[in-house]
């Protein structure tokens, strides 16, 4: 019997915390080095004061000291923000959950991730009979929140927390029964057609008393198919750097802020790292690029490929444009990952 859970659907839509955090991780290297500076006062105050936010997720994020900038991700408008604090990820989770309740975004605070408690058959979900699906009140509340404009924990482990949720295209509903009143069973796997926006925020400890907080959220009326599969949705390429032969486009992103002029592309495929290095040496030269010394590429690419020994870093330049390419095996996907950052 096929199973369903809100956590699985969040991942199916291309919104799993790991995916968004991966995009955010590449973007972070284009920001100034993180310091616990005057912005720390904003987060510290945020964790200890009370304010009204009128059910506005962006206002809650901004009030915590994160300064959002607009981007285009797979053809869709998104906002990204980052800040650093001495507060721990757990303190950040608790503070945001408190503020989400005050703002009317959540009906209650959610501090734990539902490990294995929310699987349902599609028949059970379609019936939405609490007795039949055998979920307690807290479990139902979690499922309702993540699909109904709330923001709940998606991952919680030592030194890291992630939260997220989706907003229906129509008005928020009073219950799951109302939210799915006109649904058919086959619509469960096409949840994106009913959702208008998504929200994500995480906090990662980088050292003692040093935590990075990032947040991404979409504009209204998001095309969820484009978010999860830009090629299938017909999203036009935005990179000067070509997609490697035989590769698929995972994401492509560009800054809409004139002070941060760059584009980021993530491709993946079955070819080896050495094959892709050869491909890009030829393809980039044919487009008028020359290999450069790569000093700045190291800043961008090492942050992405980390300590993968098989990873390769390439740097190209053309008048008015620098292209940095990181190529590395992705052991989780069993494929080779290519990340391109273009600065212009």
DSSP assignments along 27-73, one per residue: HHTTSPPP---THHHHHHHHTT-----TT-HHHHHHHTT---EEEEE
Specify the length of the chain in residues. 344
Q: Has residue 30 got a pLDDT over 60?
A: no
Tell me how crowded residue 318 is: count the other CB atoms within 10 A of its CB. 15
Q: With beta carbons less than 8 A apart as the criterion, state whether 39 and 92 touch.
A: no
Domain boundary among 199, 228, 257: 228
List phi, psi (to 5°) of 140.
-65, -40
Does 243 fall in a domain?
Answer: no
Q: How many domains does the chain have?
A: 2
Domain check: are 190 and 278 in the same one?
no
Q: Which residue has the higher pLDDT, 250 or 48?
A: 250
CA distance 236 to 230: 8
Task: Please indicate, yes or no, whether the overall pTM of this predicted structure exceeds 0.85.
Answer: no
**Residues 73 and 23 sit within 8 Å (Cβ to Cβ):** yes
pLDDT digits (tens, 9 = 90+) for 125-172: 445 444 445 556 667 788 788 888 899 998 899 999 999 888 888 766
Same domain, residue pair 182 and 263: no
What strands, in cross-sheet order, belong to the sheet with 76-85?
152-157, 160-168, 195-207, 210-218, 76-85, 69-73, 248-255, 262-269, 335-343, 321-330, 312-318, 290-291
**For the chain, percent of residues with pLDDT exceeding 70:** 64
Check pLDDT > 60 for residue 336. Answer: yes
The region of weakest confidence among 37-46, 94-103, 140-149 is: 37-46
Band (295; pLDDT cuts 50, 70, 90):
low
Question: Element (H or E) spanning 299, and its range?
Answer: helix 295-305
185-194, 218-227, 270-279: lowest mean pLDDT where? 185-194
Instruction: Please state, in angstroms and rounded to a whole number, the distance separating the CA atoms of residues 26 and 254.
Output: 12
Helix (H) or strand (E) holding 210: strand 210-218
223 and 252 in one domain? Answer: no
Does residue 18 sit in the same domain as residue 144?
Answer: yes
The label of the residue with tokens 């052991």 reads 331
pLDDT at 143: 77
Residues 265 and 223 in one domain: no
CATH number of residue 312's parent domain: 3.30.310.80
Residues 193 and 9: beta-carbon distance below 8 Å = no
The range of the structural domain enclosing residue 155 comes to 3-228
Return mean pLDDT, the chain: 76
Residues 73, 83: Cα–Cα separation, whole Å: 21
Q: Which of 180, 198, 228 is the last residue of a domain?
A: 228
- Do 301 and 205 lie in one domain? The reply is no
Domain closes at, from 228, 260, 290: 228
Q: Residue 144: what pLDDT?
A: 80
CA distance linking residue 284 with residue 242, whole number of Å = 8
pLDDT at 54: 47
CA gyration radius for the chain? Answer: 21
Q: Are residues 105 and 148 both part of a single domain?
A: yes
In the numeric block, the tokens 């190529």 are attached to: 327
Strand partners, 321: 318
90 with 15, same domain? yes
Confidence bin at 92 (pLDDT 50/70/90) = very high
Q: Is residue 234 part of a domain?
A: no
Torsion from C-alpha of 139, 141, 142, 147, nearest 10 degrees: 130
Q: What is the rounded average pLDDT of the residues 33-43?
A: 46
Least confident of 301-305, 316-320, 328-332: 301-305
| Mean pLDDT in residue range 27-46 | 50
Residue 216 to residues 15, 33, 262, 283, Cα–Cα distance (Å): 10, 19, 17, 33
């Amino acid at each position: 019997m096929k199973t369903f859970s809100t956590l699985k659907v969040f991942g199916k839509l291309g919104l799993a915390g790991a995916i968004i955090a991966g995009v955010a991780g590449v973007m972070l290297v284009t920001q100034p080095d993180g310091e616990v500076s005057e912005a720390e006062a904003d987060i510290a105050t945020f964790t200890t004061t009370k304010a009204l936010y009128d059910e506005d997720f962006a206002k809650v994020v901004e009030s915590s000291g994160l300064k959002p900038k607009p981007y285009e991700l797979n053809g869709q408008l998104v906002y990204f923000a980052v800040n650093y604090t001495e507060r721990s990820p757990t303190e950040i989770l608790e503070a945001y959950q408190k503020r989400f309740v005050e703002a009317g975004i959540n009906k209650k605070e959610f501090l734990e991730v539902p490990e294995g408690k929310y699987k349902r058959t599609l028949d059970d979900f379609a019936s939405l009979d609490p007795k039949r699906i055998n979920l307690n009140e807290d479990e139902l509340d979690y499922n309702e929140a993540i699909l109904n404009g709330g923001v709940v924990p998606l991952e919680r482990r030592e030194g890291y927390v992630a939260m997220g949720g989706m907003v229906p295209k129509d008005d928020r509903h009073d219950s799951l029964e109302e939210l799915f009143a006109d649904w058919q069973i086959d619509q469960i796997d096409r949840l994106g057609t009913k959702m208008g926006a998504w929200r994500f925020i995480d906090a990662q400890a980088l050292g003692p008393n040093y935590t990075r907080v990032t947040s991404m959220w979409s504009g209204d009326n998001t095309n969820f198919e484009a978010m999860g599969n830009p090629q299938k949705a017909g999203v036009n390429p935005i990179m000067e750097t070509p997609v490697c032969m035989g590769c698929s486009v995972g994401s492509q992103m560009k800054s809409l802020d004139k002070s941060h002029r760059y584009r980021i592309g993530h491709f993946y495929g079955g070819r080896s790292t050495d094959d892709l290095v050869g491909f890009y040496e030829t393809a980039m030269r044919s487009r008028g690029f020359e290999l450069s010394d790569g000093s700045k590429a190291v800043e961008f690419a090492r942050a992405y490929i980390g300590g993968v020994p098989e990873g390769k870093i390439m740097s190209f330049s053309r008048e008015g444009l620098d292209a940095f390419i990181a190529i590395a095996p992705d052991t989780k996907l069993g494929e080779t990952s290519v990340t391109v950052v273009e600065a212009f």
